[in-house]
Amino acid sequence: MEKMNGLQIIKKYSSVTLLLVLVLLNAMFTPSFFNLNNLNNIITQICPVILCGMGMTLVISTGGIDISVGSVMALAGVLTARLMPQIGLYPAVSCALFAAVLVGGLVGFMVGKLRLQAMVVTLGLMLAVRGAAQVLCDGRDIYFNKLGKVGEQLALWGTYKIGGVVPVQIIPIILVVSVIWIIAEKTVLGHQIQAVGDNYKSSALAGINTARTMIIVYCMSAFFAGLAGIFQAAKIAVAAGSSLGQLAELDAIAAVVIGGTPMSGGKARVIGTVIGALIMQMITLTCVMNDIPSQYAQVLKAIILIFAVFIQREKRK
């Protein structure tokens, strides 16, 4: 229908292209890159980024941001570890996720109803929730192998391999990505979220309950962050209030931005975020497997991140 010039094509497919280039480079230069172990590694390591990134995609598409997700991961992980010896695994997980949603609801209330800046609100909660997580584990790391049977059960959430091959993390990844994609593309809520992000005033005048929309979005973000925290704790079989999920918010935001969701809101690119997460994981792996110091990987990620913002620049004039 519409002809696109070169620049627009680059914009549209930039993240996919970059990912393919990275895969191709690795295929040529990195020995044993397509080794099964290595591919499995990608899945286990990318899990928290994708789970947080999904919620973050919705948050950013409302024009907001949620930098409390890393702390919410810690809260959920620690809470699960603390509660499960007493009340069992599943009740503990439910309680942890409930607590995460409460945090999200609080953020949503302040951002959506009181119209406070999302950046400031979630910065505050990032500190407060991190503190709460540390208090909950008494400043010590909780090792699952000391928790008996439930500890082993939860550790399986991080180490089990489906059919002995595929890491269990693939399940939450596929589930959450599908759910968020369906919400963003097919549901009334998804349309309203993007409308609110694109033009808040118009949306309010069109009868959208903007406060409710925001609260739901931040609740979802916190819920998936909580889930990510539990899976991450399970993977390393430790729940540490001080380190679990640290800097996860930055990875999630970076994945969203590289995936092409504009920071100004209005459009949620769910699959883009998955690609963004994969790109960053690729860079880390490429460096690690080729004995390049990880500091270089960080610089490379930074360049790509800024390039992604640069590419968006004109699109949203």
Partner 1 sequence: MLRHPLCMKGAAAMDWLLDIQGLEKSFPGVKALKGVSLQVKEGEVHALMGENGAGKSTLIKVLTGIYQKDAGTIRFDGESIDVGSPIEANRKGISTIYQELNLSPFQTVYENLFLGREPRTKVGSIDRKKMAAEARQILDDLEVHIDVTRPLGQYSTAIQQMVAVARAISTNTKLVIMDEPTSSLDAKEVKVLFGVIRKLKDQGISVIFISHKLDEIFEICERLTILKDGQYVGVYDIKDLDQLKLISLMVGRETGKRERKKTGYNFEKAKELMRTENICQGMRLNGIGMTIKEGEVVGLAGLLGSGRSELAQVLFGANQPDQGKVFWYGRPVRIRKPSDAIIRGIGFCTEDRKEEGIIPHLSVKENITIALLPKLNKLGFVKTKEQDEIVSSYIDKLRIKTPSAEQPIVNLSGGNQQKVLLARWMCMEPKLIIMDEPTRGIDVGAKAEIEQLIQEFSKAGISVLMISSEIAELVRNCDRILVLRDGKKKGELTGADINQDKIMETIAHGSEHKEA
> Which residues are at the interface with partner 1 (CB under 8 A)?
1-5, 8, 186-189, 191-192, 194-195, 198-199, 201-209, 266-267, 316
- Is 242 or 312 the residue whose CB approaches partner 1 more closely? 312
Q: Which is nearer to partner 1, 7 or 299 (CB)?
A: 7
Exposure b/e, 84-104, CB count within 10 A at least 16 = b: bbeeebeebbebbbebbbebb
Which C-beta is closer to partner 1: that of 16 or that of 211? 211
Tokens of 57: 């995609």
Rounded CA gap, 128 and 130, in Å?
Answer: 5
CB of 123 to partner 1, least distance (A): 24
Residue 94 Cβ vs partner 1, minimum distance, rounded to whole Å = 22
Shortest distance in whole angstroms from residue 203 CB to partner 1: 6
Between 65 and 268, whose beta carbon lies closer to partner 1? 268
Greatest CA separation for the chain: 63
Smaller CB distance to partner 1: residue 5 or 295?
Answer: 5
Q: Where are the alpha helices (DSSP H) in 62-169?
A: 69-87, 89-108, 118-136, 149-159
Going by C-alpha positions, the residue among 302, 133, 140 that lies closest to residue 229 is: 133
Question: Kind and range of the H or E element at 25?
Answer: helix 6-29
Q: Residue 69 in contact with residue 221, Cβ under 8 Å?
A: yes
Distance between CA atoms of residues 74 and 93, nearest Å: 13
Give 194 or 221: the residue with its C-beta nearer to partner 1.
194
Instruction: Please identify, using beta-carbon distances, which residue of 54 and 99 lies nearer to partner 1.
Output: 54
CB of 208 to partner 1, least distance (A): 7
* Cα 114 to Cα 119, 196, 255, distances in angstroms: 14, 15, 29
Contact of 198 with 72, CB cutoff 8 Å: no
C-beta of 206: minimal distance to partner 1 in Å? Answer: 4
Taking the C-alpha atoms of residue 137 and residue 238, their distance in angstroms, rounded to an integer, is 11
| Residue found under tokens 């118009």 | 202
Round to whole Å and give the CA distance between 51 and 185.
18
Q: Which is nearer to partner 1, 44 or 194 (CB)?
A: 194
Residues 6+ apart with CB under 8 A from 122: 65, 66, 67, 68, 107
Residue 277 near residue 47 (C-beta atoms within 8 A):
no
Identity of the residue, 198 or 251, whose beta carbon is nearer to partner 1 in the bound complex: 198
- What residues contact residue 15 under an 8 Å CB cut-off, 6+ apart? 258, 259, 260, 272, 275, 276, 279, 308
